[in-house]
């Protein structure tokens, strides 16, 4: 079936346009102003993944629905200049530590490190000058069955308050099986805190036609981290049984969005919680959207993830397909838990100088005509 494409993300006219690869599988590079570059990976099936070297921000993911119609399934700004501040972290690489660090401080080896607060008294997603706001060095590559770009950043010792000179590499790789593979590597000169993720907001309806209320999520998790009123982990793991947090057999997101369950209310009527994976299934998360038939599968070697249902998304942002509003996207932030900096029993975010940080998450896109 011939695939029809509906592109909607508008970028500034490129200064230079470079194409690497064959007509089907290719890497298109647009050189923009201020040393920004916009890359588009296209596989043999016509799936596309577009992103900036600024913040490693994924701006578009174009995939077909059950009828072959190719549409965008992530949130992105209409004007790429809006990514300069990007308070919602659309599509960005998050670091050094993804998530919230209580009181913007932590202790390692008997020494206390103070970070810059950017959400009340707490530190969120690496702070105001986190990895989402740096220009990454980019190197395109191509294999027999995939194409991609390797992004590299060197963070100096003490940047943002974090110890250690850190060298980080994040690779975006698109395969001919419609898989987006995100791989992370990092080394440090001092004991430090590090857990990286990508903050894309997914909406499988295509071009933001509907909210995510009826996205059906199945998750390999029986436990999640309890939050206080400031969305800071209390140190308690809660069982999902008989709660709207039980996705083991699958449920629609609307169950939690419309729930009166305390933890859903604390998150602003939805989810913004760390789920600990049971590690019993290869597929950690499966998401289905009935109207489009699109299916997203998440597989990762990380111990868990934060699932965020865009409860606090403003309704006045100019996105590629129209104005933003709450519940327009869902994030699957695969990572370790920053709660481990203040509480025992959680997946550690500590990286030692003699260690190598390595992580891999695979987002696979498909269709199911019988949803």
Catalytic residues: 199, 333
Tokens read off for 109: 């080896």
| Whether the Cβ atoms of residue 243 and residue 258 lie closer than 8 Å to each other | no
How close are the terminal C-alpha atoms of the chain, in Å? 20
Which residue's entry shows tokens 């009826």?
214
| Whether the Cβ atoms of residue 305 and residue 363 lie closer than 8 Å to each other | no
Judged by phi (left if over 0) then psi (alpha if -120 to 50, else beta), residue 185 lies in beta
Calculate ∠ Cα 97-309-47, nearest 5°: 85
Beta strand pairing status for 4-5 and 69-72?
A: parallel
* Sequence-ordered list of residues with C-beta below 8 angstroms from that of 115, at least 6 positions apart, any chain: 101, 104, 105, 106, 123, 127, 160, 161, 162
Q: How many CB atoms lie within 10 A of CB 22?
A: 11
Q: Where are the alpha helices (DSSP H) in the chain?
A: 254-257, 262-266
> Hey, which residues does 191 pair with through a beta bridge?
none
């Amino acid at each position: 079936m011939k695939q029809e494409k509906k592109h909607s993300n508008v970028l500034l006219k490129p200064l230079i346009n470079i194409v690497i690869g064959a007509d089907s599988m290719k890497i298109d590079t647009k050189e923009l102003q201020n040393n920004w570059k916009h890359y588009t990976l296209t596989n043999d099936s016509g799936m596309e993944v577009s992103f900036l070297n600024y913040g490693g921000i994924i701006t578009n993911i174009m995939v077909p629905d059950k009828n072959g119609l190719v549409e965008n399934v992530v949130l992105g700004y209409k004007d790429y200049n809006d990514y300069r501040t990007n308070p919602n972290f659309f599509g960005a690489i998050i670091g050094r530590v993804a998530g919230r660090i209580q009181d913007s401080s932590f202790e390692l080896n008997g020494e206390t490190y103070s970070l810059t607060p950017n959400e009340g008294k707490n530190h969120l997603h690496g702070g105001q000058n986190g990895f989402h706001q740096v220009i990454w060095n980019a190197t395109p590559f191509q294999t027999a069955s995939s194409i991609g770009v390797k992004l590299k950043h060197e963070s100096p010792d003490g940047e943002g308050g974090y110890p250690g000179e850190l060298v980080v590499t994040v690779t975006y790789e698109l395969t001919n099986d419609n898989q987006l593979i995100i791989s992370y590597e990092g080394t440090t000169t001092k004991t430090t805190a590090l857990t990286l993720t990508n903050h894309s907001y997914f909406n499988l309806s295509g071009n933001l036609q509907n909210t995510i209320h009826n996205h059906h999520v199945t998750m390999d998790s029986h436990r999640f981290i309890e939050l206080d009123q400031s969305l800071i982990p209390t140190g308690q793991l809660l069982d999902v049984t008989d709660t709207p947090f039980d996705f083991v057999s699958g449920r629609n997101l609307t169950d939690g969005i419309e729930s009166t369950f305390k933890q859903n209310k604390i998150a602003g009527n939805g989810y913004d919680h760390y789920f600990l994976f049971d590690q019993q299934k290869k597929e950690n998360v499966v998401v289905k959207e009935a109207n489009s038939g699109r299916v997203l599968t998440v597989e990762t070697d990380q111990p868990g993830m934060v699932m965020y249902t865009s409860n606090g998304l403003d309704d006045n942002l100019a996105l590629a397909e129209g104005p933003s509003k709450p519940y327009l996207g869902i994030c699957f932030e695969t990572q370790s838990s920053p709660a481990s900096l203040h509480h025992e029993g959680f997946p550690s975010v500590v990286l030692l100088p003699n260690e190598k940080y390595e992580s891999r998450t695979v987002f696979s896109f498909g269709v199911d005509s019988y949803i």
